[in-house]
Structure 1
Amino acid sequence: MTIGHRGAAGYETENSIPSIKKAIDLGVDAIEIDVFKIKSGEVVVFHDDNLKRLAGFDVHIEDLTLEDLNKVQLKNGSQIPQLHQVLDIIDNKVRLNIELKGANTAEPVHAIIQDYITSKNWSTESFIISSFKWDELKKMRALDKNVPIAVLISEDPLNALDLADELKAEAINPHYKKLTGVNVEVIQERGFKVYPWTVNNPEDIQLMKDFKVDGIISDYPDRVHANVENLQPAL
């Protein structure tokens, strides 16, 4: 499975509508995005807790109201989208991995995805919920016994096995540099899929394929499809 990281972040400003559209155009199987809940309650698609890197001023995303948000322009000229806007663009064409980046995101995200399941004929399997905030994953599982969950971890991925068991998770999403052929096999034997992030260089993509991971999260999703021997390394 090819998973576009923050859309297609190697080509367009991450988590923006152009990035989402680019990932779909590149033929991904799924798209990964990040979400926060802002001050006025909306769920917005953004990675950093601060706007400085992508919008140029030092403000925390969670301190914004919707009125404030609508005045923010990203470096590519687009706005920070709300989750429902991204869902409308995706239109159930590909699967959506929603990373709960901010605090108190499980409940509003669950409400939104349930609305799309009940009113727009999406399925539970259209989504996968991931987070480094394991307490948010536990909240999500308490709200919904069926929604697919992936446990994010930046250290030894075997340390996520117990939580993955507890949550009846679909997958563990580790940093690709923490993977070996052995620990991938251990995770899969325990019944979990492995979706490593963020794999951009052709040699690393090939290594993940050699490890037989179940999906690859990349800023350059077309490279996952490609014959990696013919690609130049990412800068």
Structure 2
Amino acid sequence: MKKQFLSHILINRFLWVFLLVLIHACNMEKVENPMMIGHRGAMGYETENTLASINKAVALGAAMIEIDVFQIASGELVVFHDNELDRLSNATGPITSFTWEALQEVVLEGGHSIPLLKTVLDQLAGKAALNIELKGPNTAAPVASLLKSYLSHGTWEEEGLLISSFDWALLFETRKLLPKISIGVLTEGPPLEAIPVAKQLSAVAINPYYKDLDATIVAQIHAAGFKVYTWTVNTPEDLKNTKTLGVDAVFTNYPDRTF
């Protein structure tokens, strides 16, 4: 009887140890490396939002490339981040006031030129996913129109595209025009405040600033049914810390860096 009792205790202990090991293994599996999104291409190495930067990000293995888009005075969609040209080029003034003919004379740092969104879509197809951030006003409709042509020809699939913006009104317009496109809700304030908006948009992700996150907030966003794509994470220490929070993807200027 005593032997049976001791045997029962040993079996129970073994089962508990096995269970703890299994739980630990499951937790380890959950802490996978987040997806690396090349921020404005690979702007830590090349001038941001240029073809050189985008190609560099692809070469470094970025799974997705993030770019910014404006519509200029002559109607074209161009890839650029700032409202004004001053910081990065030999020109001044708002980019939206330029025609495409005039913009082709603008020289960026490093001797680069501002690319058309169409050119990026042509060159990036089949190489990486693309996150288009709607920067300028009234960009939702022309971007949707352009993407529809690529989707209809099979050059791009909805799964390879993500539309994001800090201007949530543009995201609602995008959702009406592209019912199946993936949407990421960019936030500058408390990330949890974006959950109701993300639900209305049927978004796939909420994209907060990494310093606005902790493990609890990430868990709450996940519980609400959304992924967490956080920006902009560059140092090895910050990359490691964001991984431990359980985020799904990071925007980074250095897509070759490891966690």
Q: Give the alignment's TM-score, normalised by structure 1.
A: 0.94
User: How far apart, CA to CA, are the structure 2 residues paired with 1:109 and 1:126?
Assistant: 15
| Unaligned runs of at least 5 residues, structure 1 | 229-235
1:153 alignment partner, one of 177, 187, 190? 187
Give the CA RMSD over aligned residues.
0.9
1:112, distance to aligned residue in structure 2 (A):
1.2
1:204 matched to 2:238? The reply is yes
User: How far apart, CA to CA, are the structure 2 residues paired with 1:41 and 1:151?
Assistant: 26
1:93 matched to 2:127? The reply is yes
Aligned-partner residue type, residue 89 of structure 2: A
User: How far apart, CA to CA, are the structure 2 residues paired with 1:92 and 1:138?
Assistant: 28
1:18, distance to aligned residue in structure 2 (A):
0.2
Aligned-partner residue type, residue 182 of structure 2: P
Q: Between Structure 1 and Structure 2, whose CA radius of gyration is higher?
A: 2
Aligned-partner residue type, residue 119 of structure 1: H
The one-character-per-residue Cα deviations of 1:50-108 (angstroms, maximum 9, x if unpaired) are 00000033210000001111111101111100001111121231110000000000011
Aligned-partner residue type, residue 105 of structure 2: K
Quote the residue 1:172 is aligned against. Answer: 206
Alignment of 1:45-124 (within 5 A): 45-124=79-158
Aligned-partner residue type, residue 113 of structure 1: L
Aligned-partner residue type, residue 244 of structure 2: D
User: How far apart, CA to CA, are the structure 1 residues paired with 2:39 and 2:87?
Assistant: 17
User: How far apart, CA to CA, are the structure 1 residues paired with 2:92 and 2:205?
Assistant: 35
Q: Give the alignment's TM-score, normalised by structure 2.
A: 0.85
1:127 matched to 2:161? The reply is yes
Aligned-partner residue type, residue 129 of structure 1: I
1:97 counterpart SS class: strand
Aligned-partner residue type, residue 71 of structure 2: K
User: How far apart, CA to CA, are the structure 2 residues paired with 1:155 and 1:92?
Assistant: 34
1:20 counterpart SS class: helix
Q: How many residues align?
A: 225
Structure with more of its chain in helix, by fraction: 2
2:37 counterpart SS class: strand
Quote the residue 2:69 is aligned against. Answer: 35
Quote the residue 1:233 is aligned against. Answer: none
Aligned-partner residue type, residue 28 of structure 1: A
The one-character-per-residue Cα deviations of 1:110-138 (angstroms, maximum 9, x if unpaired) are 11111111124321111000000111001
1:158, distance to aligned residue in structure 2 (A):
0.4
1:11, distance to aligned residue in structure 2 (A):
0.3
User: How far apart, CA to CA, are the structure 2 residues paired with 1:206 and 1:70?
Assistant: 41
1:144, distance to aligned residue in structure 2 (A):
1.5
Contact 2:90-2:106 within 8 A present in 1 as well: no
Aligned-partner residue type, residue 154 of structure 1: E
| Unaligned runs of at least 5 residues, structure 2 | 1-34
User: How far apart, CA to CA, are the structure 1 residues paired with 2:147 and 2:47?
Assistant: 24
Quote the residue 2:19 is aligned against. Answer: none
The one-character-per-residue Cα deviations of 1:164-198 (angstroms, maximum 9, x if unpaired) are 00000000000000000000000011110000000
1:5 matched to 2:18? The reply is no
**% identical aligned pairs:** 49
User: How far apart, CA to CA, are the structure 2 residues paired with 1:184 and 1:108?
Assistant: 33
Aligned-partner residue type, residue 30 of structure 1: M
Quote the residue 2:248 is aligned against. Answer: 214
Contact 2:125-2:155 within 8 A present in 1 as well: no
